[in-house]
Amino acid sequence: MSTRAETSGFDCSTSLAQSFEVQRRVIGALIMRELHTRYGRENVGYLWMFLEPMLLAGAVAGIHGVAPGHIGTDILPVPFSLVGYGIFIIFRGIFGRAEGTLETNRPLLYHRMVTVFDMLAARALLESAAVCGTVSFLLLMACLFDLSLPPARPLWLIAGAGYMVWFSWAMSMICCAATHENRLVARLVHPMTYLFMPIAGGFYMMKWVPRPYRDWLGYLPTTHIFEMCRYGQFESLNDTYVDVTYLTLACLELTLIGILSIKLVRKHVHLS
């Protein structure tokens, strides 16, 4: 009896490990396909994956670079802008590109191992890797030119970026399901992204906002994410307006809604 149970447990763990390996290979292949279809192999090719967010974040940081420091001695305008807009680009890229995912990748669903979950996960990983790499490089350059100080609490900054990837990926599943065969909603995705930018929390601090508006903005998961990132970057700030428990529960809830939405929509996707 014990030998049979041990053998069964070993088979289950082996099967689970094999499933993860298959999933990893599928997502890796989808990332390579996304690179080819999005950037091609001509001209700068894959480099554009980093150049695009670098130009946008660099331009915003340059515009704000002529302004004086915001608060305190270490909150300089360049890192403030890089962290704010750079982290927001993660959301814009992942959420904005979720629209039309099913339509453009429908032929891939003929393969049994490929799912909509894999497609969105591959896009989220590609987008977040490019943006995080770009922001890290720009922050390094800013430090070398004395426009910024190194992150005071790098683990908090990394955690904030990770939460933004999680939040954006969950929202991308909801967006993908909502825009499937609904052109009206699909056309609203990009305008909604830019309308969301002023209130997301990337360009203001919660301590600047008076009540009751501060309490209302506290319901947005992104305000906690940006406060977490700024707490990681600047020594003089504190984590007063960061509620990790609320942020985690919000991301879990959005992820569950996204997964259920994708499963519901997948039933209506016809491959023929």
Q: What is the pLDDT of residues 116-130, one digit of tens each?
A: 888 898 889 988 988
Count structural domains, the chain: 1
Determine the pLDDT at residue 68. Answer: 56
| Residue 6 within any structural domain of the chain | no
Determine the pLDDT at residue 252. Answer: 97
pLDDT band, very low/low/confident/very high, at 243 (cuts 50, 70, 90):
very high
Q: Which of 118-127, 131-140, 249-258 has the highest mean pLDDT?
A: 249-258
| Residue 4 within any structural domain of the chain | no
**What mean pLDDT is reported for the chain?**
82
| Residue 171 within any structural domain of the chain | yes
User: Which domain, by its residues, includes 202?
Assistant: 21-267
Distance separating alpha carbons of residues 199 and 181, to the nearest angstrom: 29
Dihedral sign from CA coordinates of 259, 111, 98, 222: positive
**pLDDT of 143 over the 80 cut:** yes
| Residue 272 within any structural domain of the chain | no
How many residues can be counted in the chain?
A: 272
| Residue 8 within any structural domain of the chain | no
User: Contact, 138 vs 57, CB < 8 A?
Assistant: yes
pTM of the predicted model as reported, rounded to 2 decimal places: 0.85
What single letter denotes the amino acid at residue 86? G
Q: Which of 35-39, 79-83, 230-234 has the highest mean pLDDT?
A: 230-234
| Residue 170 within any structural domain of the chain | yes
**pLDDT of 230 over the 50 cut:** yes
Distance separating alpha carbons of residues 51 and 33, to the nearest angstrom: 19
Determine the pLDDT at residue 240. Answer: 86
| Residue 11 within any structural domain of the chain | no
Determine the pLDDT at residue 224. Answer: 96
| Residue 13 within any structural domain of the chain | no
User: Contact, 135 vs 127, CB < 8 A?
Assistant: no
Question: pLDDT (tens digit, 9 = 90+) per residue, 31-61?
Answer: 888 777 777 666 566 666 666 667 766 676 6
- Which one, of 107, 125, 103, lies nearest residue 31 by Cα? 125
